Structure 1
Amino acid sequence: MKSIGFLGLGIMGKAMAANLIKAGFDVTVWNRNAAKCAELVALGARQGATPKDVAAHCDITFAMVSDPEAALALCQGPDGVAAGIGAGRGYVDMSTVDDITSKTIASLITHTGGRFLEAPVSGTKKPAEDGTLIILAAGDPSLYEDAKPAFEVMGKMSPYLGDVGQGANMKLVVNMMMGGMLSIFSEGLSLGQKAGLDGQQILDIIDAGAMSNPMFKGKGAMLLNENYTTSFPLKHMQKDMRLAVALGDQLDQPLPTAAIANEAFKQAIKAGFGEEDMAAVYKVIK
């Protein structure tokens, strides 16, 4: 069984790394705040000193960090992944970034002889804990095959999407739709309740018809109960909306609905709700 490195132990990464350890993989972990490693070391992981150290000693190193800047920072510099990866070893970046960042990281890794795969995920805290993420892989086909046993522990589906950049693009398309849906869902619930309709009845009627979907089911209860326990931080959803709108600019694709939804998420961040669940966009809409 291949040795696995895991960099980034936030809400998602911690759960994903824990599943790999429980499945019997030989896992070495690293996090910028080293204290976050303790729980995983207690489960049986080793703790790496730097991203370079982890990449130099593991067959495949996975990373899960918050944004393009953090993803690039992990790879660069004397203690970065690119400094340690060497020939033949693999690096799988599961962070949500734009295609340009992904291609930059791919170049850093492959120039040192390493293999690169981008593999952003669709899913939030609970799917990460349950091992039911959708993993959007693109890049080196041999690394995709080598990483598959780990993907099968972390996710329920891991399609191969082709060249580096296509995983990032698929993730932005999916999250852009999710953000837009959440925005109009919040508007509908707000409008209905202001018109005197019962919030739960609105949810029941939506759930019985063609618009029924797991997100409305899960987030509907959160909105009615004003419970914004974070499974996917609102600031990260706004970052994905921003990157999707930027991709639309690159490709001359009009995205009027996404652009307006992005403004609602920006308002929510300005109002101080960035660390709360993405459902907190409801607070600025209502």
Structure 2
Amino acid sequence: MTTYGFLGLGIMGGPMAANLVRAGFDVTVWNRNPAKCAPLVALGARQASSPAEVCAACDITIAMLADPAAAREVCFGANGVLEGIGGGRGYIDMSTVDDETSTAIGAAVTARGGRFLEAPVSGTKKPAEDGTLIILAAGDQSLFTDAGPAFAALGKKCLHLGEVGQGARMKLVVNMIMGQMMTALGEGMALGRNCGLDGGQLLEVLDAGAMANPMFKGKGQMLLSGEFPTSFPLKHMQKDLRLAVELGDRLGQPLHGAATANESFKRARAAGHADEDFAAVFRVLE
């Protein structure tokens, strides 16, 4: 049986690792804060003391980390992935990072004799819990095939997009669109309320027409209630918008809407909403 490691047990990684354990996989976990390993150990996972220990012990190691800095530190840092990878073992980074970070990690893992796949996901806390994420993989085809059973436990759809970097780029484009949709909904709700419209009726109209979508339906209720329990942290959406704008800069691609949305999310972070759900951008739009 293929053994799996899992690095990073945050709002996404925790439920993803739990789904692997519940599906019957042999899983070893690590987290920067070791206390977060306890619920996984209670489910039947083993706990390791470092990323290097996980990678050395497991056939395939998966990482789900907060941002490019965390992804680089876990890979290149002391007792990191590179100290344990090799011998054809696989490393799958499911974090949302820029394509340059993903390419650098992939090259380093390959140079050590490992196999690398980037596989960021589209989906937030609930899809992570339900195992219905969309997996955007790119890189080593053999590792993609070998990890298929694990991906089936984590997601409802899995694509292989080509060479390393394409998965990161796809994820940034998807989240860039989502961030702009969220600011559009927030501005629309604010304008509607300020001119005396009923917010619930506005959502009803949107849901009945061509603009109907699950995000408007779910996040719209947050806007009505004024409560923003975290499914996808606002600080992470702002990070993804920033990375998308940086990608556009490198390509000479104008991204007026994304840049404007990024400024709104930056304002919301500065106003103290970084750890709330990304729908809390509404606080600076209303």
The equivalent of 2:75 in structure 1 is: 75
1:78 deviation in Å? 3.5
**Deviation for aligned residue 1:107:** 1.2
Q: How many residues align?
A: 286
Matched, 1:236 2:253: no
SS in 2 for 1:150: helix
Aligned ranges 1:105-184 → 2 under 5 Å: 105-184=105-184
TM-score by length of 2: 0.99
- How much is the aligned-residue C-alpha RMSD, in angstroms? 0.5
Name the CA distance, whole Å, in 1 between partners of 2:72 and 2:168.
14
1:95-114 deviation per Cα after TM superposition (whole angstroms, max 9, x unaligned): 00000000010011011000
Instruction: State the SS of the aligned residue for 1:95.
Output: coil
Once residues 96 and 168 of structure 1 are traced to their aligned partners in structure 2, the CA distance between those partners, rounded to angstroms, is: 7
Please name the residue that 2:23 is paired with. Answer: 23
> Equivalent residue of 2:147, what SS?
helix
Cα distance in 2 for partners of 1:154, 1:75 equals 23
CA distance in 2, matches of 1:281, 1:84: 41
Q: Which consecutive unaligned segments of at least 5 residues does structure 2 have?
A: none
- What fraction of aligned residue pairs are identical, expressed as a percent? 67
Q: TM-score, normalised by structure 1?
A: 0.99
Partner Cα separation in structure 1 for residue 182 and residue 281 of structure 2: 8
SS in 1 for 2:274: coil
Query: Structure 1, residues 178-198: CA drift from partner, whole Å, max 9, x if none?
Result: 000000110000000110000
- Distance in structure 2 (CA, Å) of the matches to 1:204 and 1:213: 11
Q: CA deviation at 1:32?
A: 0.4
Q: Could you give the per-residue CA deviations for residues 17-72 of structure 1, whole angstroms, max 9, x where no partner exists?
A: 00000000000000000000000000000001110000000000000010000000
Runs of 4+ in 1 over 2 A off after TM superposition: none
State yes or no: 1:285 paired with 2:285: yes
Unaligned runs of 5+ in 1: none
Which residue in 1 is equivalent to 2:3?
A: 3
Q: Helix, strand or coil: the match of 1:91?
A: strand
Distance 1:62 1:247 in 2: 25
Q: Counterparts of 2:17 and 2:119 in 1: how far apart (Å)?
A: 15
Measure, in 2, the Cα distance between the counterparts of 1:242 and 1:79: 30
1:35 counterpart = 2:35: yes
Say yes or no: does 1:271 pair with 2:271.
yes
Aligned-partner Cα distance in 1 for 2:280–2:248: 25
Task: Report what 1:104 is aligned to.
Answer: 104
Alignment of 1:49-64 (within 5 A): 49-64=49-64
CA displacement, residues 151-176 of structure 1 (integer Å, 9 cap, x when unaligned): 00000001000000000000000000
